Structure 1
């Protein structure tokens, strides 16, 4: 059931109200809480965690027609939010959950960024055909948009149909490396208190095959991708207004993650990340080991938000320059999740200027403070 535009803000308030507060809703005590020491179990933890307040599956990457062709970036994100409304009400249409989805394509050569969004209420009944998120494995459906994992081989399929943006995208994402558990065995702290955390894993270096349709023109493309799955009860510490984050597939086969949560004055409240060289163990970063230094700033003509589109990022794996491949990659998702953020294709450069990685940069809380509890 798609939510009419006039009712979306009311639904969002129900979805996110109290998200930053203590976990007090009854009815879910089956291990969905985020706890240090909890061992993630797969394929179950590929699936939805309906007791957690918020959850997302996030796939990004780049595509090309051939090795010399211009880059095309993609983002496909499915969100699930527990509303706390209707937990005591029976029926297939009780609004216990909200599902959202965002999709974007960046055409670097054309200097164009297209994006679209969807939103729907969901009772939690997995049998509903048009909107559901299954618990046993990744299978999120929102109308004609979907992200699903095949249990037999671990491959992911994503399908996006957004005629209002002149966009359709079919993705096949094949893992080439083991799962990367972020933080301590998948427990990723996002603030000074242990409860300010998520369960978080990544699948970097995905081999991607895609069919992209833009304004009726179809192209077959291949590339590399990255998938994150994260769920939380309390993601933001008091005082945090947003975050800056990167997920980079390194050209040597490694993977680099780094993030910093910001206060209103721009100072860093918490930071972290990881580096996994190809074929070796992951090395997690402590908060004091990650430094984001902003460089050139792009001002959005649509919202007035100011986004650093060049960064110097210091980590134990090295100090790098990060550069957006297109400035205008802002997503105005106020019609679904109620936020404005920047999410886009970027390249990672070594001190000498050589490209050592490609991936995505995300910046939130720069148009207005990010509030997961309205």
Structure 2
């Protein structure tokens, strides 16, 4: 395991800027996501998304990420998880500056999980010097040697096919991602609310990837296949000041449906929930707080913290009642802003696999 450790995709956006990046450091924590975003662009309803342009960066907003999770298995049925993330954070508002004066900070985050191990790594870069970035056309997202790039001219409506690569000291993976269905706009046409106030992000997903490639742990490569999920979000102030973190799931149902859910935890206990059900034919249905029941069942103690690693999820109006269990209950990212993230399985009224992220515990 890489001792430097990554920080969560959503933790980073409110998180740390290392002193080595221009001599300025800060550590806002998750609550920092609720601080004033004066000078940055606002997220408002009614945006018209444009692809492939929106696959690229939006530097007028403070925070952004390109994030992939993959539920994989080898020929013997051994399950794995893989994760790839590129974050962008602006440390100051205003038009992009040249070279080392550029206000953009980039972080790459990669991880693999198996039932008996969890490995992760990270890398950082300053914008403006070519070490990291994203190009919308032809699509290419990279930081150092980690990259997500087109294999042939990419269909902007489904952002496929892609190649995904990353490596740490004791793991690596190279995956091909294909999709034959279009992107999904989360929330209300891509406007994803995070509270009953003005906090929101622009958010879309590609939940329909099939994945195949090679995953290596301790110099032992295996051929893997499975399903993958891409999330794209950007915002300037996605959390309210009284929200401490979130519990987020992406679920692949055995019957072909997909489901995205999250719960933003609030100090008063009136947690804000949202989600989207995606049918095999591509039709979607928005879910609101009143639709979603998320109940922690079992906890894992990690670094003197009690982490809810087994959950019961119920959506009565969709006749869904499932229990989600982790592939590895110790999928813990012990970083500057510790969090839990890893692959899960679920059973009950529906069966399948997915990913769970929990921050702020």
TM-score range, shorter chain: 0.7 to 0.9
Q: Is the 8 A contact 2:35 2:241 kept in 1?
A: no
- Whether 1:225 aligns to 2:225 is no
Candidates 85, 92, 104, aligned match of 1:77: 85
How far off its partner does 1:271 sit?
Answer: 0.5
Residue 260 of structure 1 pairs with residue 273 of structure 2: no
Residue deviations 1:258-308 (CA, integer Å, cap 9, x gap): 11111246x2431010111211410010121111111100011xx322211
CA offsets per residue over residues 3-45 of structure 1, 9 Å max, x none?
A: 997637944449999753444327xxxxx64220111111111
The TM-score with structure 1 as length reference comes to: 0.83
- The answer to whether the 8 A contact 1:211-1:220 is kept is yes
1:182 aligns with 2:186: yes
Contact 1:249 1:358 in 2 (8 A): yes
Q: Mind listing any 5+ residue stretches in structure 2 that lack a counterpart? A: 1-15
Q: Distance in 1 between matches of 2:17 and 2:275?
A: 39
1:371 aligns to what?
Answer: none
CA positional deviation for 1:90:
4.6
How big is the shift at 1:322?
Answer: 1.0
Q: What is the aligned partner in structure 1 of residue 307 from structure 2? A: 307
Residue in structure 2 matched with residue 372 of structure 1 by the alignment: none
2:270 is the alignment partner of 1:294: no
Runs of 4+ in 1 over 4 A off after TM superposition: 3-6, 12-19, 87-90, 135-138
Inter-partner Cα distance in structure 1 for 2:98 and 2:32? 24
In 2 relative to 1, CA 136–349 (structure 1 residues): closer, same or farther, beyond 3 Å?
same
1:236 to 229, 234, 239: 239
Once the 2 structures are TM-superposed, how far is the Cα of residue 196 of structure 1 from its aligned partner?
0.5
Q: Distance in 2 between matches of 1:299 and 1:264?
A: 22
How many residue pairs end up in the alignment? 338
Give the Cα separation in 1 of the matches to 2:288 and 2:18.
42
- Greater strand share, structure number: 2
Preserved contact between residue 249 and residue 357 of structure 1 (Cα < 8 Å): yes
From 152, 155, 159, the equivalent of 2:154 is 152
CA drift at 1:84 = 0.2
C-alpha root-mean-square deviation of aligned residues, in Å? 2.6
- 1:41 corresponds to 2:50: yes
Query: Does the C-alpha gap of structure 1 residues 157 and 239 become closer, same or farther in structure 2, counting only changes over 3 Å?
Result: same
Q: How does 1:25-40 map to 2 (within 5 A)?
A: 25=39, 33-40=42-49
Q: Secondary structure at the match of 2:99?
A: coil
